[in-house]
Structure 1
Amino acid sequence: MFIPLSDTNPLRHLPFQYVTVGLIATNFLVFLVFQSGMVFNAMEAAAYGFGMTPALYNDVAELPPGFLAAPDAMTLITYQFLHGGWMHLISNMLFLWVFGDNVEDAMGHARFLIFYLLCGIAGAYAHLLVMPASESPLVGASGAVAGIIGAYLVLHPRVKVWILFLGRLPLRIPALYVLGGWIVLQFVSIAFTLDEQVAFWAHVGGAAAGMILVVLMRRPGVPLFDRGLVR
């Protein structure tokens, strides 16, 4: 529906968003080496071995012969660094680039990394609860990125964000409408099953975790809901 381009929200506590950039670089590196076919042709093996497949996690199915599998608990982390294609990767990393720096700024580097992984885990568990017997691997940073969206919405709902609406119309509107609309869209998509290939419940679980965790993990004194924002 929309493509985020940038926000008008400078860093206040950090000189640079090292963890955000590091996560983006890691996701691109993993995709290039293991999933793009440019180095290893291991897209399917990576998805089944290191993605989070509910049926495998719940021991109601077995991995096909010949696949190397990570321990179930580890897949709650490894699935976050795999993607289903270039567009899946780029869209997740674009959201992470635009909104991740300010969430990292509100928490600090170490806590932000923990926050990011926890949101991804929360997204995986939401998907597990809703689709416990699914044999399709869950891959992608979407759950963790949804956590960043939820956190940003709690921290900076009034900050203006540049987006391309419908991929072509540039608009500058408050994050409340951009990110709030994205969250509403997840529930609409669940209700009407607009795309069965997208793990919408992982998005919902990640966003809910982000909204809760940012309150607990932000720096002392960091305000919520843009309190004290000077226009």
Structure 2
Amino acid sequence: MFPLYDDNPTQDTSIVVYSLIVVNVLIFGYQLSLLDFQFTQWIGNWALIPKGFVANPIREAITLISSQFLHGNILHLVGNMWFLYLFGNNIEYKLGHWKFLFFYLLCGVFSGLAQVITAPMSGLPMLGASGAISGVMGAYLVRFPRARIVTLLWIGFSFIPIPIPAVVFLGLWIAGQTIYAAMANPNLPGVAYLAHVSGFVVGAIAVLIYSKLAKK
């Protein structure tokens, strides 16, 4: 199940979304230029490592932000940037450019803290924009539940694009992430599913509160 596009066009240029994509791509390009030992040092300095954060939260606080711009491989990067492009433009349009940037980073910070809380002694680096983008997806579910996501589905012997309501697509996605999070051991290498779930929840709640306050 892979999303292609939505039927929810915007009337404004998604400056922040495009800028985030460019910055992530440039940083990944820099990562590729590093030698193995340099890359290891780079990740050690800028990725969120729960054990290091717990030992010195003030010094390591920056990694709650910097880790959101690091990716382990090209598939990790492309997948994250596609989901950011697909769901981010509508949320940026609703929140405004600067509020969206703050919201995006905030979701990433909370998703990182969730990982630290569940595995405080882990020495594994956490990296990627997934937590922040999950927050954007949670916000999309709240604001545009009836929008349709044209999605590639494997039916029979071929992929077929089918429009699916956002509430169904994102509901199935977060349900799957929650199941994986319940089964995964946060102290072992792998996908940080809990970060996805926490980012999604924070994003949904934050936009819900913002929407209610904006009406007052």
Question: What is the 5 A alignment of 1:135-154?
Answer: 135-154=123-142
CA distance in 2, matches of 1:11, 1:216: 22
Does residue 1:117 correspond to 2:95, yes or no? no
2:200 to 183, 199, 207: 207
Partner of 1:171: 162
Q: Contact (CA 8 Å) 1:165, 1:171: kept in 2 or not?
A: yes
Q: Contact (CA 8 Å) 1:125, 1:205: kept in 2 or not?
A: no
Query: RMSD value over aligned CA atoms?
Result: 2.1
Shift of 1:47: 1.6
Question: What is the 5 A alignment of 1:210-225?
Answer: 210-218=203-211, 220=214
CA distance in 1, matches of 2:69, 2:148: 29
Q: Contact (CA 8 Å) 2:124, 2:189: kept in 1 or not?
A: no
Query: Which amino acid in structure 2 is aligned with residue 73 of structure 1?
Result: A
Partner of 2:43: 47
Secondary structure of the residue aligned to 2:61 is: helix
Q: Contact (CA 8 Å) 2:53, 2:60: kept in 1 or not?
A: yes
Shift of 1:163: 1.6
Shift of 1:196: 5.0
Partner of 2:118: 130
Query: Which amino acid in structure 2 is aligned with residue 4 of structure 1?
Result: P
TM-score by length of 2: 0.89
Query: Which amino acid in structure 1 is aligned with residue 191 of structure 2?
Result: V
Q: Contact (CA 8 Å) 2:54, 2:120: kept in 1 or not?
A: yes
CA distance in 2, matches of 1:47, 1:204: 24
CA distance in 1, matches of 2:209, 2:181: 29
Shift of 1:10: 1.4
CA distance in 2, matches of 1:16, 1:30: 23
Mark the CA change 1:170 to 1:51 in structure 2 (over 3 Å): closer, same or farther.
same
Shift of 1:3: 2.0
Shift of 1:168: 3.4
Does residue 1:19 correspond to 2:16, yes or no? yes
Secondary structure of the residue aligned to 1:140 is: coil
Shift of 1:77: 0.3
CA distance in 1, matches of 2:183, 2:162: 27
Greater share of residues in helix: 2
CA distance in 2, matches of 1:55, 1:153: 33
Question: Structure 2: which 5+ residue stretches go unaligned?
Answer: none
Secondary structure of the residue aligned to 1:36 is: helix
Q: Which moved more, 1:78-87 or 1:182-191?
A: 182-191
CA distance in 2, matches of 1:172, 1:137: 37
The percent identity for this pair of structures is: 38
CA distance in 1, matches of 2:75, 2:170: 20
Does residue 1:181 correspond to 2:172, yes or no? yes
Q: Count the aligned residue pairs.
A: 206
